[in-house]
Structure 1
Amino acid sequence: MSDLVLLAVFVGAGLATFLIRLSFIALEGRVRLPSWFRTSLQFVPPAMLSALIAPDLLMRDGHLDLSPGNARLLAGAVAILIAARTRSIGWTIAGGMAALAALEYLL
């Protein structure tokens, strides 16, 4: 693939992403979105975060790994417990990373 085609793909994808995000900002206040749609938007961030994190926690070398030897899965469980207990992003990240470092050293 030539560099020019690759550049066009990148620019096109960036422009499409920009326009999709701009549409919500530009139309705010001008268009009344249905209440069910506005309510469902609150679930987008947790769903996206789960979609980004779950494969890293559950997969190792392209295969599902739910074993006790999966340090990432165990550290993720520790981070979930810290998040539920403290409701603090900082403590969750610090505790999860510390658990991951300790578990990777031990396992």
Structure 2
Amino acid sequence: MNYTLMVLGMALITFAIKAAIFILGGRVVFPPLLQRALSFVPVTVLTAIIVPMILAPHGEGLELHWRNPQLVASILAILVCAATGRQLLTIVLALIVFFGWQLAVL
């Protein structure tokens, strides 16, 4: 029962925040510093979700070795994206390396 109440409470809070933003619309003006800070939220949330899956894919401590296909593919993705700036190429090459590495090593 406690988990149900917790999930319902989180849903209610999320709904209230999104409804307030939708209802207030453009009437609320944030200071430039806050607008700049809020622009980094998507990147930080995505990083917080992805990095643990790369560094500890099995949830049992860090796996910083060459047999970790998530780590190898993510390093390649960073290098390809930095070198070319092409998102589709980055995704395709990283997926090929991830699945190929997984088949070759495991």
Normalising by the smaller structure, the TM-score range is 0.7 to 0.9
User: For residue 102 of structure 1, what is the amino acid of its counterpart?
Assistant: G
- How much does 1:7 deviate? 4.4
What is the RMSD of the two structures over their aligned residues, measured on CA atoms?
Answer: 2.0
- How much does 1:90 deviate? 2.6
User: For residue 105 of structure 1, what is the amino acid of its counterpart?
Assistant: L
Contact 2:57–2:70 (8 Å) recurs in 1: no
SS of 1:80's equivalent?
helix
2:11 matched residue in structure 1: 14
Structure 1: where are the runs of 5+ without partners? Answer: none
2:84 is equivalent to residue 67 of structure 1: no
Superposed counterparts of 1:20-99, under 5 Å:
20-61=17-58, 62-99=60-97
Q: Distance in 2 between matches of 1:54 and 1:37?
A: 26
* TM-score, normalised with respect to structure 2: 0.80
User: For residue 26 of structure 1, what is the amino acid of its counterpart?
Assistant: I
1:100 matched residue in structure 2: 98
Identity %: 31
- How much does 1:65 deviate? 1.5
User: For residue 24 of structure 1, what is the amino acid of its counterpart?
Assistant: I
**Residues 84/23 of structure 1: CA separation in 2 closer, same or farther (3 Å cut):** farther
Structure 2: where are the runs of 5+ without partners? Answer: none
Contact 2:55–2:71 (8 Å) recurs in 1: yes
Corresponding pairs, count? 104
**1:44-83 Cα distance to aligned partner (Å, 9 max, x none):** 1111111110001001432111112211101011111222
